[in-house]
Amino acid sequence: MIRQMSVQELKEKLDKGEKNLVVIDVREPWELGICSLPGAVSIPMRAVPARYPELSKDAELAVLCHHGMRSQQVALYLERMGFSKLNNVTGGIAAWARDIDPKMPTY
């Protein structure tokens, strides 16, 4: 099952330094050039089918995109590939910039 995770929840988990949490950013490289979360793993959506084996099925994954649509699709795909600890970051990086880090550049 895919959990919907708020940016506030994600920040709390990152602040706690949860070792088993991996943030997967599925946006395109040009988007990452504008803004990104430190430590997030960049796997553009189109590359997920080729690169998902790089991810641990034991890790808790938080999938992130611009507004939460692409990340939801990627989470659904990863669920079909056997991942179970899945979170879609609702509102994406846009919500992070709005609610957590207002100094973050937006697009």
Single out the catalytic residue among 65, 75, 78, 95.
Answer: 65
Let me know if 35 is a catalytic residue: no
Q: Which residues contact 87 (CB under 8 A, 6 or more apart)?
A: 2, 3, 4, 5, 10, 60, 61, 62, 63, 75
Residues 6+ apart with CB under 8 A from 94: 66, 67, 106
Say how far apart CA 21 and CA 39 lie, in whole Å.
11
User: Residue type at 70?
Assistant: R
CA distance 54 to 52: 5
Q: Among all residues, which ones are annotated catalytic?
A: 65
